[in-house]
């Protein structure tokens, strides 16, 4: 049974690497994703293995070219949200008082706003861009990271090793980054997978809702081709499956990885 489990894990890893590889390196292999190569919603053919989309463009070329924004932007934005939330949570949990009150109020305000509302407001106000999507992910993810970090910090400041650091005259920065941070980093990193999965979903949702720079995007492809799904399903099915694998992998894969590395 253990052997079968390792085989299953190995297959899952290969699938995830394949999806990430398509997203990152697919644009190098894509032909001309904006070129019209046939009639709309044409079926698969030797020239277009996955058929054509609603405008007669090659689905395979657009799949290859449409994944990179859904990897690069969510990863960068989630890293920024995690770093910012980590700093805010450490400050609030360690210094308490006015600092904790300000951080907590800011968290409550952002947590009270639905992520989709933040997404729509910023997209309508600033337009679709990597900067806008990064801002959406940072605003929606930071308060969650901050709350997790604050809770762990409040627990850590009561532990003996922190009290001992105080007694030896260590500075606040030394206590925070040398004593507290290494002991609370695991739950924060474990939460990173969830934040990344949500970031991928929000970035794909922007394309699905019709926002975009005009280039290929897996989320936008689902929205564009859903009307012709009975004629040729590949323009919807392929990007949907790739998005699903990427989202699940971001959540479960990183959680497992953190667990093994920090065990």
pTM of the predicted structure, to 2 decimals: 0.84
Which pLDDT belongs to residue 5?
A: 64
Total residue count of the chain as it appears in this document:
263
State the number of CA atoms in the 13 A half-sphere of 98 facing the CB: 0
Can you tell me the distance from the alpha carbon of 262 to that of 76, in angstroms, rounded to the nearest whole number?
A: 22
Helices (H) and strands (E) in the chain, counts: 12, 0
Asked if 205 and 215 count as a contact pair (C-beta separation under 8 A), the reply is: no
Q: What percent of the chain has pLDDT over 90?
A: 40
Q: What percent of the chain has pLDDT over 70?
A: 88
pLDDT over 60 (residue 196): yes
Kindly report which listed range (26-35, 94-103, 191-200, 208-217) carries the lowest average pLDDT score: 208-217
Band of pLDDT at residue 137, cut at 50, 70 and 90: very high
Kindly report which listed range (9-18, 139-148, 221-230) carries the lowest average pLDDT score: 9-18
pLDDT in tens, 39-67: 999 999 998 999 999 999 999 999 999 88
How far out from the chain centre does Cα 119 lie? 14
Q: Is 215 left (phi over 0), alpha (psi -120 to 50) or beta?
A: beta
Which pLDDT belongs to residue 6?
A: 67
Find, among 130, 104, 109, the residue nearest to 211 by Cα: 130
Kindly report which listed range (3-12, 76-85, 116-125, 215-224) carries the lowest average pLDDT score: 3-12
pLDDT over 80 (residue 215): no
pLDDT over 70 (residue 33): yes
Which pLDDT belongs to residue 4?
A: 66
Which pLDDT belongs to residue 84?
A: 96
Extract long-range pairs of 6-13: CB within 8 Å, 24+ residues apart: 12/249
Mean pLDDT of the chain: 85
């Amino acid at each position: 049974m253990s052997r079968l489990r390792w085989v299953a894990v190995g297959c899952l890893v290969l699938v995830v690497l394949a999806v990430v590889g398509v997203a990152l390196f697919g644009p190098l292999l894509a032909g001309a994703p904006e070129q019209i190569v046939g009639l709309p919603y044409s079926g698969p053919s030797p020239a277009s293995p996955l058929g054509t989309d609603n405008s007669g463009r090659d689905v395979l070329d657009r799949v290859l070219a449409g994944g990179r924004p859904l990897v690069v932007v969510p990863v960068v934005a989630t890293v920024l949200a995690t770093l910012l939330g980590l700093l805010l949570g450490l400050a609030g949990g360690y210094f308490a008082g006015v600092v904790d009150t300000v951080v907590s109020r800011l968290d409550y305000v952002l947590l009270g706003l639905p992520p989709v509302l933040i997404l729509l407001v910023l997209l309508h106000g600033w337009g679709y861009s990597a900067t806008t999507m990064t801002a959406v992910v940072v605003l929606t993810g930071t308060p969650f990271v901050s709350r997790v970090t604050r809770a762990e910090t409040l627990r850590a400041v009561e532990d003996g090793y922190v009290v001992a650091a105080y007694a030896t005259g260590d500075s606040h920065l030394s206590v925070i980054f040398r004593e507290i941070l290494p002991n609370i980093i695991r739950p924060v990193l474990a939460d990173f997978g969830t934040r990344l999965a949500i970031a991928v979903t929000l970035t794909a949702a922007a394309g699905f809702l019709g926002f975009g720079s005009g280039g290929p995007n897996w989320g936008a492809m689902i929205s564009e081709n859903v009307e012709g799904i009975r004629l040729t399903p590949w323009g919807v099915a392929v990007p949907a499956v790739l998005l699903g694998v990427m989202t699940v992998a971001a959540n479960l894969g990183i959680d497992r990885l953190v667990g093994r590395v920090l065990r």
